[in-house]
Amino acid sequence: MEHNRPPQRRGKQQQQDPLKVLLIVLLLACFILLGVYLLRDNTPAPADTGATTAAQTRPPRTEPTKTSAPPNTEAHKTEPATAAPTTAAPTTTETTPADESWKLVLVNADHPLPEGFTVGLKELRNGHHVDERIYPELQQMFDDARAAGIYPLINESFRTAERQQEIMDSYIARYEAQDMSHEEAVKKARSLVALPGTSEHQLGLALDIIAEYDADSTATWQWLKENSWRYGFILRYPADKVDVTGIDYEPWHFRYVGKAAAEEITERGLCLEEYLNK
């Protein structure tokens, strides 16, 4: 073994001669590279330059992003604002069928409110609330009515399930006060008041409208019956549809269904159940 090693070393040394040259060249190259690298590191390494370069590189980076950020966000704000309709347009065109479905949600004794139903509400000046999506057309309808000498007033609008229950309870209490038994009072109240979860008012799409300055609302109801479809509303419980709707004639109760459906429903003399084939 000992004999073998020296010859091996010699052999290596002999072989390493050309290799040594290569190694030296490589080492030199490494040193040069290291030197260059260290020189580069050293220039930013000093605290001042480092700080300034850091300050120069950072602030210019943050400042441009800060100064460019507002323009960017502004640009983004204006771009999405202009792009929003285009980006929102596909989504709205995609959600258009969904939009149509919210307009035509059927709520009655057989079709309770969809589970987990929520709605974005718009508060009106008189404290009433409606589905915010119907507000522009509702406002337009009232404006046009006033221009025609009709002054409608919203008497009932969006109701929560709790409010619907309160109304039911007040009716029951009223009939009990009239010496009805509790069962009779409940039966009577349920014939007049929808059970919570089955009232269209919980959608925020139904309105009970009366005349603002007149005890007789007939003229107001007549105007609405003739014109409300132009704004997407229908007379929801017509006198000739009691058998279908299961609700007595309510000349004051108007329901938003959207302009297209309202026009067809009015033109064909349908009620919502018939229009939806339900």
Which parts of this chain interact with Zn ion (CB under 5 A)? 208, 253
Q: Least distance (Å) from Zn ion to the CB of residue 233? A: 12
Q: Least distance (Å) from Zn ion to the CB of residue 206? A: 5
Residue 276 has φ and ψ, to the nearest 5°, of -90, 0
Cβ 274 vs Cβ 264: under 8 Å: no
Q: Judged by CB, which is closer to Zn ion: 27, or 192?
A: 192
Cβ-based neighbour number of residue 265 at 10 Å? 21
**Taking Cα atoms as reference points, which of 234, 236, 229, 257 lies closest to residue 101?**
257
Please state, in angstroms and rounded to a whole number, the distance separating the CA atoms of residues 57 and 259.
59
Q: Least distance (Å) from Zn ion to the CB of residue 79? A: 44
**Taking Cα atoms as reference points, which of 199, 265, 218, 270 lies closest to residue 241?**
270
Task: Name the residue number minimizing CB distance to Zn ion.
Answer: 253
> Catalytic pick from 79, 176, 250, 274?
250
Non-local CB neighbours of 209 within 8 Å, separated by 6+ positions: 152, 153, 154, 155, 217, 220, 221, 224, 252, 254
Q: Judged by CB, which is closer to Zn ion: 41, or 110?
A: 110
Residue 250 is among the residues annotated as catalytic for this protein: yes
Q: Judged by CB, which is closer to Zn ion: 99, or 208?
A: 208
Q: Least distance (Å) from Zn ion to the CB of residue 157? A: 9
Please state, in angstroms and rounded to a whole number, the distance separating the CA atoms of residues 204 and 228.
17
Q: Judged by CB, which is closer to Zn ion: 69, or 153?
A: 153
**Taking Cα atoms as reference points, which of 261, 267, 243, 240 lies closest to residue 251?**
240
Residues with catalytic roles:
250
